[in-house]
């Protein structure tokens, strides 16, 4: 871990100018109570993305809220290569009323949620009509949408804007590769982007390797002049006439399906 620490110190040394802000969304909460609780105990504000029908989902959402963490629903959606769908998910063959019912049930299970992001979803989020009905239901709940950006063909920005929903995009996946040095590379990428643009959004998962890394890295951020904030503080309302993926306040990251 000495090499890892040296890499972090080299990158995270304070730079002149305004303090950049990052948000870290911890996806897939609900399957492991132990790892979920460890994630909620990280020393900064991490946004808790909870799978509603996961065995420990409602409990971890409650614990997150009690700890002052922001909570969002991590809703399973169909992938381009059909890999099965987690319980409580939606697919693009559903009728509008079915999509609405599933999302309402998710908010009933996770009443602490202020917004929603997609779990997997490279097929679903590219479907205009299906995403229209997702946004229709989110608008009824006064909720925001964060696009996990598992496909460059996502229409999340366009549909959120049409429904006047606050919106953000994921910039960096921190742990597609679970080695500590791989996570370090992605974390450094997140910080560099935030310093260049003023803000950035990362998605992580409650893997033991990720948690070990973040437990060491996150305490360095304050000294480095990097603020960790809730994802809701980085939301925007993009122009509905702007082409999908074209610039804007929340520039898209690299789209990958892997696990989201």
Q: Whole-angstrom Cα distance, residue 104 to residue 117?
A: 15
pTM (2 decimals)? 0.89
- DSSP code of residue 90: B
The whole-number pLDDT of residue 237 equals 65
137 lies in a domain? yes
The whole-number pLDDT of residue 13 equals 61
The whole-number pLDDT of residue 10 equals 52
Q: Of 119, 146, 130, whose CA–CA distance to 253 is shortest? A: 146
Cβ-contact 89, 119 below 8 angstroms: yes
Tokens (6 digits) for 154: 């996502």
**CATH at residue 205:** 3.20.20.370
165 lies in a domain? yes
The whole-number pLDDT of residue 84 equals 86
| Domain count within the chain | 1
The whole-number pLDDT of residue 260 equals 43
101 lies in a domain? yes
242 lies in a domain? no
The whole-number pLDDT of residue 259 equals 46
251 lies in a domain? no
82 lies in a domain? yes
The whole-number pLDDT of residue 107 equals 98
Q: Give average pLDDT by consecutive 10-residue segment, the chain, 260 residues.
A: 57 68 98 98 96 98 98 97 89 97 98 98 97 98 97 95 96 97 96 96 98 96 94 78 40 46
- Reduce the secondary structure of 196-219 to three states and give it as a string: HHCEEEEEECCCHHHHHHHHHHHH
The whole-number pLDDT of residue 60 equals 98
241 lies in a domain? no
Name the residue range of residue 59's domain. Answer: 19-234
**Phi and psi for 203 in degrees, rounded to 5?**
-115, 130
196 lies in a domain? yes
Chain centroid to CA 234: 12
The whole-number pLDDT of residue 83 equals 73
The whole-number pLDDT of residue 248 equals 34
**Phi and psi for 235 in degrees, rounded to 5?**
-80, 155
């Amino acid at each position: 871990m000495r090499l890892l620490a040296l890499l972090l110190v080299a990158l995270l040394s304070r730079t002149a100018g305004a303090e950049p802000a990052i948000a870290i969304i911890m996806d897939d909460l609900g399957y492991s109570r132990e790892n979920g609780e460890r994630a909620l105990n990280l020393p900064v504000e991490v946004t808790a993305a909870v799978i509603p029908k996961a065995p420990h989902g409602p409990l971890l959402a409650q614990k997150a809220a009690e700890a002052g963490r922001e909570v969002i629903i991590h809703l399973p959606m169909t992938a381009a290569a059909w890999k099965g769908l987690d319980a409580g998910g939606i697919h693009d063959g559903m009728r509008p009323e079915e999509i609405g019912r599933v999302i309402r049930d998710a908010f009933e299970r996770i009443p602490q949620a202020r917004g929603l992001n997609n779990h997997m979803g490279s097929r679903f989020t590219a479907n205009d009509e299906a995403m229209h009905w997702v946004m229709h239901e989110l608008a009824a709940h006064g909720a925001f949408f964060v696009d996990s950006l598992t496909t460059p063909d996502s229409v999340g920005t366009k549909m959120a804007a049409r429904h006047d929903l606050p919106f953000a995009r994921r910039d960096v996946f921190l742990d597609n590769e679970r080695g500590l040095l791989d996570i370090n590379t992605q974390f450094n990428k997140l910080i560099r982007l935030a310093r260049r643009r003023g803000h950035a959004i990362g998605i992580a998962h409650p893997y033991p390797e990720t948690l070990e890394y973040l437990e060491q890295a996150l305490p360095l951020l304050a000294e480095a002049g990097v603020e960790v904030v809730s994802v809701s503080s980085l939301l925007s309302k993009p122009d509905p006439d702007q082409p999908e993926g074209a610039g804007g306040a929340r520039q898209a990251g690299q789209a990958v399906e892997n696990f989201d």
